[in-house]
Amino acid sequence: MTAPRPGARRPDGYDPHAFEPFAVTVDLAVFTVRDERLHVLLVRRGQEPYRGAWALPGGFVLPRESAGQAARRELAEETGLSGTTVARLHLEQLRTYSDPDRDPRMRVVSVAYTALVPDLPEPRGGGDAEHAQWLPYGSYGPLAFDHDTILADAHERVGAKLEYTCLATAFCPPEFTLGELRQVYETVWGVELDRPNFRRKVLATPGFVQAVEGPPRLTGGRGKPAALYRAGQATALHPPLLRPEGRQE
């Protein structure tokens, strides 16, 4: 009834040719906050199918690498960032998409990853169709393949993780103000948060952020200069920072 299987109890002999070969790829949902809007890294397809449509960056998993290694390699290639820089970015497996018809050409199983990055300089060759570009979330037509679904799942996941992890600092540069951190929450959730309450909750969570000693200023904008903070060593938030009319998956 079924092919032999690694790790199963079936008595059949093991035959490497008795299974259907699949292509395995990774797809990347890369988010950043730029100009107070959530942006996504996308590439324009130059061939059929979906020629001319936007798609998530990604690529094949190579013979000797794991899906996670493939994702980090693709992220470095698409953003033009150095390997050491990419190694510090937040990259997390989202889930795997395996509908038999998700690619009209052949059977492709794709492991999707979500990456969160601070506002980076425009990817190498900005504006060049050869490289990925930042687009405001939602500001594009339908994406190729099932990438709209993947991106929606990724957005939902990021929004949920902001509630109970310190993930928001991954969107920020090494040193940031509480206003910038609040911007992350407001941008991803699409809501406005009360400034004093946000401040109180963040500072009340040990290990979320830690104050930077230096001069308590960082100007360029209007208003009273804000103190600088660095990401703390905590990874989970207790208690969680729930969004106003919160839902979850």
Residues that bind DNA (CB under 7 A): 177-179, 182, 194-197, 199-201, 204, 216-217, 219, 221-227, 239, 241-242, 244
CB of 221 to DNA, least distance (A): 6
Helices 178-189 and 195-204 sit at what angle, rounded to 10 degrees?
110
Site of tokens 């998530």: 56
For 249, the token pair is 């998956």
CB of 214 to a second copy, least distance (A): 33
Which of DNA, a second copy, none binds 150 (CB below 5-8 Å, type-dependent)?
A: none
Which of a second copy, DNA, none binds 32 (CB below 5-8 Å, type-dependent)?
A: none
- Measure the CA–CA gap between 124 and 79, rounded to whole angstroms: 7
Q: Pick the closer one to DNA by CB: 109 or 178.
A: 178
The one-letter amino acid at 101: D
Which of a second copy, DNA, none binds 79 (CB below 5-8 Å, type-dependent)?
A: none
- Measure the CA–CA gap between 6 and 199, rounded to whole angstroms: 52
Q: Pick the closer one to a second copy by CB: 222 or 247.
A: 247
Which residues are bridge partners to 40 per DSSP? Answer: 31, 135
CB of 59 to a second copy, least distance (A): 4
Which of DNA, a second copy, none binds 192 (CB below 5-8 Å, type-dependent)?
A: none
Site of tokens 């008595």: 11
Phi, psi of 98 (to 5 degrees): -140, 20
Site of tokens 């004093």: 196
Which of DNA, a second copy, none binds 164 (CB below 5-8 Å, type-dependent)?
A: a second copy
Q: Pick the closer one to a second copy by CB: 38 or 61.
A: 61
Q: Pick the closer one to DNA by CB: 83 or 173.
A: 173
Give the start-end residues of each E strand in 169-217.
175-176, 209-211
Do the Cβ atoms of 154 and 94 come closer than 8 Å? yes
Q: Pick the closer one to DNA by CB: 135 or 227.
A: 227
Q: Pick the closer one to a second copy by CB: 53 or 178.
A: 53
Which of DNA, a second copy, none binds 219 (CB below 5-8 Å, type-dependent)?
A: DNA
* C-alpha closest to that of 172 among 118, 91, 230, 227: 118
